[in-house]
Amino acid sequence: MNLNMTFPVFTRFQTCPCYTLRMMTSYDELIQSMPHVIFEADHRGRVTLANCQALATFGYRKEDLPENPDVFQVIHDSDRIRARRDFRMVLAGRPVEATQYTAQKTDGSTFTLLVLPWAATREAGRVGVRGIAVEMTGMPTPHAGIPIAVGRVTQALEEERKRIARELHDDTAQSLAALSLEIQAMRRDVEGLSSRAAARLQQLTARADAALEGIRRLCRELRPEALEQLGFVPAVEVLASDLRTEAGIDSRAIIRGTERRLLPGTELALYRIAQEAFSNARRHARATEVVIALRFNPKSVTLIVSDNGIGFEVPDRLADLAVQGKLGLSSMRERARLHDARFTIESSPGHGTTVSVRMPA
């Protein structure tokens, strides 16, 4: 799932010394409970949101902050130009990968800050930048700390997926189900309905049921219960089955080797990579056939997803996938890197795409 969500208008949150947004309580609690900096800045770089951890990380008190402070004032002079350049790139719609900057506290001390930014959008388009930042204090070296920090961010995003799925299931889905039942009851109980009114109520029932099924499908994508309850291989087979029934794409799973359970983090990473590959095949590749192959070896497991879609030109450096706007493929690569996996992409225009991940078991 893409987490570039559109949030409501931001406002002051009186019970916490920080900027926050007026949302459902669960989202407020999520933002305030995260041990990382959460921020948003408008197109001029003025801060419109910062959680309590942001103030603590940079050593600020609420009374020290001006109204809508400059987001770049926490970046050291040596990196400020580079930070402004990356900020403009995100505003222009060019993705920027997690990047390290030298940041500074109010007492003048400096530290390494890892920032993962993305565009903040409203109905009118891009209006600023929001992101997550992690203080790298205590990491052995800047490069050694990147996988740890990105792993923390990934874990936090997975927790957010679960929270959103629960909210959708317990609130929105239940409301839609109740609405559908009410409309059906009205069709039965109201006497003297014209044929036109009855047909209209039937259409409304169909729309409510379709919306309910869409919410349930989104919940399954956000929180893969098949993975939690049945295991990795059955969950992958469910992915292939859903692609057949929902998108009409001929898809199948091929399992080789001795099937076994893997570490939960390994299974989740492989599942998300497979899920993203299936999503690309359905939404972008115009594929009519997708094959997912799993090969279990004693010391590794290999996942291969191939489609017969339109394909594309693979950049010489996979790190450039994000720059080209291929965020799904870039996220697959990052997940693989977190698990010391070998990640490859084979594709060319008109000849489909094959994604391969060989991960230590």
Angle between helices 195-222 and 142-167 (to 10 degrees): 150
Say what percent of the chain tops pLDDT 90.
Answer: 25
Q: Could you tell me the residue range of the domain that residue 344 belongs to?
A: 227-360
Q: Is residue 152 part of a domain?
A: no
| Average pLDDT taken over every residue of the chain | 79
pLDDT bin (cut points 50, 70, 90) of residue 25 is very low
75-130 pLDDT, tens digit per residue, is 999 999 999 999 998 888 776 778 889 999 988 899 999 898 888 776 555 678 98
User: 250 and 291 share a domain?
Assistant: yes
User: 267 and 354 share a domain?
Assistant: yes
For residue 225, what pLDDT is reported? 73
User: 231 and 355 share a domain?
Assistant: yes
Last residue of a domain, one of 221, 243, 265: 221
Cα–Cα distance measured from residue 242 to residue 281, given in angstroms and rounded to the nearest whole number: 13
Q: Tell me how many domains the chain contains.
A: 3
Among the listed ranges 27-31, 54-58, 97-101, which one has the minimum average pLDDT value?
27-31
User: 245 and 269 share a domain?
Assistant: yes
Q: Is residue 202 part of a domain?
A: yes
Q: Is residue 261 part of a domain?
A: yes
User: 189 and 296 share a domain?
Assistant: no
Among 233, 318, 240, 315, residue whose Cα is nearest residue 270:
233
pLDDT of 13 over the 50 cut: no
Query: Do 292 and 260 form a contact (C-beta atoms < 8 A)?
Result: no
Task: Give a three-class secondary structure readout of 30-57.
Answer: HHHHCCCEEEEEECCCEEEEECHHHHHH
Matching residue, tokens 């903040």: 120
Query: Do 327 and 354 form a contact (C-beta atoms < 8 A)?
Result: no
User: 207 and 232 share a domain?
Assistant: no
pTM: 0.50
pLDDT of 16 over the 50 cut: no
For residue 8, what pLDDT is reported? 32
Task: For the beta carbon of residue 200, count every other beta carbon within 10 angstroms.
Answer: 14
Q: Is residue 88 part of a domain?
A: yes
Q: Is residue 277 part of a domain?
A: yes
Please give the order of strands across the beta sheet that includes 37-42: 10-13, 18-21, 47-50, 37-42, 125-135, 110-122, 99-104
User: 180 and 101 share a domain?
Assistant: no
